């Protein structure tokens, strides 16, 4: 991996899976351990995640602290995008499906699609999330891509599970900045909010599985507010199925003139 033009904390190191395949397993545990269990049961993830470890190794980055411990990770994969808002994938799942489809058909790619950023819970609030967003931007530039697109999972949405994502996407604080902290960071680093995506990820399971994933009982059919779910989960006891659509927000980081507007590595 070429050197990415990103300022790191002293002693920290940014490495890719290509450079350090020995980290793949630990990074997987690091990522998996922070999500609520139900988020680990998206069928698209289960179908395609291996591509990140088999094919797109340069796009999976791990931030190591001075002692070699994992402080943060990011995952992304390339896809073809026509550059229009209407041409964005429907949601996160659709983005990943497009990546897999473009790979299978040999379609030339021109865009980096963000999939995930995770910061060690003990180190949150220290600026590492911004480092990992910048690393994705810089990696996209190294590929010669014009944009980084992200179907962002808004980190505060679970506290407002009944708010429509199309409206939540444009909520602002009194200072005019985006209400959601994670969307706000993307915008601070140059992204533009495009729209809400109400069915960005789809998670299905039998009722007993949902009960196991959430530690809740679902005695009746209907919609349930579930801890850390950003929208209600619909349980249908007759069909023995629960369905959850994770609502996300599309943001676009245009990178062609970003060197002037948001120098990679600068502190926002």
Ligand X SMILES: CC(C)(COP(=O)(O)OP(=O)(O)OC[C@H]1O[C@@H](n2cnc3c(N)ncnc32)[C@H](O)[C@@H]1OP(=O)(O)O)[C@@H](O)C(=O)NCCC(=O)NCCS
Binding site for ligand X (CB under 6 A): 34, 116-119, 124-125, 127-130, 153, 155-156, 181-182, 184-185
Buried b (16+ CB within 10 A) or exposed e, 193-228: bbebbebbbbbebebebbeebbeeebeeeeebebee
CB of 11 to ligand X, least distance (A): 18
The distance of closest approach from Cβ of residue 153 to ligand X in the complex, given in angstroms and rounded to an integer, is 4
Smallest gap from residue 127 Cβ to ligand X (A): 6
**114 or 207: whose CB is closer to ligand X?**
114
CB of 251 to ligand X, least distance (A): 12
Do 5 and 138 form a contact (C-beta atoms < 8 A)? Answer: yes
Closer CB to ligand X, 97 or 179, in the complex: 179
Half-sphere exposure of 198 (CA within 13 A, CB side): 9
Q: Is residue 123 packed enough to be buried (19+ CB in 10 Å), middle (13-18) or exposed (0-12)?
A: middle
Burial class (CB in 10 A: 0-12, 13-18, 19+), 58: middle
Alpha carbons 191 and 130: distance in angstroms, whole number: 12
Q: Is the CB of 75 or the CB of 214 nearer to ligand X?
A: 75
- CB-closest chain residue to ligand X: 181
Smallest distance from the beta carbon of 133 to ligand X, in angstroms? 9
Dist CA 198 CA 200 (whole Å) = 6
* Closest CB to ligand X among residues 119, 203: 119
Q: Would you say 135 or 207 has its CB closer to ligand X?
A: 135
């Amino acid at each position: 991996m070429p050197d990415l033009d990103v300022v790191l904390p002293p002693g920290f190191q940014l490495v890719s899976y290509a450079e350090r395949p020995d980290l793949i397993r630990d990074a997987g545990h690091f990522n998996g351990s922070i999500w609520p269990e139900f988020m680990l049961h998206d069928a698209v993830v289960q179908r395609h995640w291996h591509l990140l470890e088999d094919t797109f190794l340069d796009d999976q980055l791990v931030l190591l602290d001075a002692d070699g411990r994992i402080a943060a990770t990011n995952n992304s994969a390339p896809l073809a995008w026509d550059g229009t808002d209407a041409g964005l994938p429907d949601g996160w799942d659709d983005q990943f499906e497009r990546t897999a489809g473009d790979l299978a058909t040999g379609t030339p790619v021109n865009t980096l699609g963000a999939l995930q950023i995770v910061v060690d819970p003990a180190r949150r609030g220290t600026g590492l999330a911004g480092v990992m967003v910048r690393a994705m931007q810089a990696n996209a530039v190294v590929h010669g891509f014009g944009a980084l697109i992200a179907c962002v999972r808004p980190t505060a949405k679970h506290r407002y599970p009944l708010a429509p994502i199309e409206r939540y996407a444009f909520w602002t604080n009194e200072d005019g900045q985006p209400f959601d902290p994670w969307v706000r960071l993307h915008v601070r680093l140059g992204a533009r909010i495009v729209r809400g995506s109400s069915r960005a990820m789809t998670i299905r399971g039998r009722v007993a599985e949902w009960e196991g994933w959430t530690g809740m009982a679902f005695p009746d059919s209907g919609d349930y507010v579930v801890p850390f779910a950003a929208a209600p989960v619909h349980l249908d006891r007759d069909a023995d199925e629960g369905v959850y659509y994770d609502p996300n927000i599309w943001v676009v980081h245009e990178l062609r003139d970003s060197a002037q507007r948001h120098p990679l590595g600068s502190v926002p």
